[in-house]
Amino acid sequence: MLQRGLKGVIAAETAIAHVDGEKGKLIYRGYEISEITSKYNFEETAYLLWYGKLPTAEQATKLKEQLVHNRTLSDYQMEVLKLLPKDMNMMSVLRTIISAEGNQSYQWPPTIDEAIRLTSITPLIIAFRKRLMENLDIVQPNKHLNHVANYLYMLTGKKPAEAHVNALETYMILTMEHGMNASTFAARVAASTESEIISAITSAIGTMKGPLHGGAPAEVIHLLDEIKADGNTQRVLKEKITRGEKLMGFGHRIYKTVDPRSVALKEKLIAFAGSDEWLDLSIEVEEIGIQLLEELKPGRSLYTNVEFYAAAIMKAIEMDKQLFTPTFTASRMVGWTAHVLEQAENNVIFRPQSAYIGQYNMNI
C-alpha cells in the first residue's frame, strides 16, 4: 500500500526518544522532558542521548572537557569559511564546513568521540561566520563557559546574561531530539549505507535547510512585535481570531494537546519573570491567546508550541533571524549523531520500493 511521504510507516526501532502526540509527551531515554529540563544541563542531556544513561558528576565533567577541547576549526576549514560567497546562507555554510571536516579519521562505524566533535564545532561555525559577515573580529571560545553560554559569548563578544543562557539552554535541550523527523531519517538513511558520520550529518543539514522542516519562529516574532507596538494584547489577538487569521505559534501537527516542550520552556522562563520584557510578553500572550481561542474557537484545543517561546527567546537575546534554524541545528546535532550511532548498532540499509506510474511503450 502506498503511503505518500512514508507517513505512519515504522522504518526503525529506537531507544533514544519517544514522541506521544496524543498524550502530549516527549521522552528522552525513558525520562520525560520536563524532568530533564528542570534537573539537567545541555552537556548532561547530550550524555544521556549518546550513552543511554545519565552521567555521574565525573562523567559530566569529562564530557564538558571534551566539548571544550574540540572548540577549534582546522586552518583549512577557516580558509574555506572566509572564501565562501557572502550571499551563501548559514545552513549552506554549515553543510560545507562540516563536509570539510571529513578526513581519513572518519570511518565506519561512527563513534561518540566523532559525535562530540561535530556538536562542539557547530556553534563555532555559526558564530565565526556571523562575525566575518559583519566585518567584526572573530571571538575565540571561552573555555570557562559551558556549551550554550560559550555560543552566545562567541556571537556577541560579551558575557551573556544568566536569564538568556538559561532560556536558550532550555530551548536547545528541548530541540535536541524529536523522533524520526525528516532530517533524522535522512541521517539514518545515509548511515545505513555504511557511509561515515560526516556524510550522514551533511544529509541531515541539507534536509533541515528546507522551509518545510527547519523553518523558523519568524512569524511568531512578527506577532510579538505587533502586540508590543500596539500595547493591547487582548485587542490584537481578538481581532486576528475574529478575522480568521492563524495565531502563529499556536497549534502543532503532531501534538493533539499541549506541546510538552512549550510547557517545559514556559516553566523555566517563569523562573526568570521580570528579567526580560520579551519573555514576560510571551507569557502574557500565551495566557490571553489560549483564553480567547477557547472562547472564540471552542473545541479546537489549540495551545502554544515550542516555536512560540523560541521566538521570545530569540528576541530576548537579540539573535538575527538568519540564525534561528542554524541554532536549531546546533542543538539537533546531538539527536542526529545519537541516531547515527544507534543505526550502526544493528544496521540494515534502507531500501524502500516505489510504485511505477509511467507509461509502457509496447512497440519497443
Query: Which residue in the list 44, 114, 307, 342 is annotated as catalytic?
Result: 307
At residue 120, φ and ψ (nearest 5 deg) are -70, -40
| Residue 136, all three cell numbers | 567584526
Q: Is 307 a catalytic residue?
A: yes
Cα separation, 327 vs 91, in Å, equals 10
Q: Is 164 a catalytic residue?
A: no
Would you put residue 6 in left (φ > 0), alpha (ψ -120 to 50) or beta? left
Query: Which residue in the list 147, 164, 252, 339 is annotated as catalytic?
Result: 252
Of 298, 258, 206, nearest to 21 (Cα)?
A: 258
Cα separation, 340 vs 344, in Å, equals 6
Q: Give the chain's count of helices (H) and strands (E).
A: 16, 3
Angle, vertex CA 215, rays to CA 237 and CA 196, nearest 5: 155
Q: Is 215 helix (H, G, I), strand (E, B) or coil?
A: coil
Cα separation, 336 vs 116, in Å, equals 12
| Residue 15, all three cell numbers | 531507544
| CA distances from residue 136 to 146, 153, 223, 301 in whole angstroms, order as listed | 23, 14, 31, 47
Q: How far is CA 337 from the centre of its chain?
A: 13
Catalytic annotation, residues: 252, 307
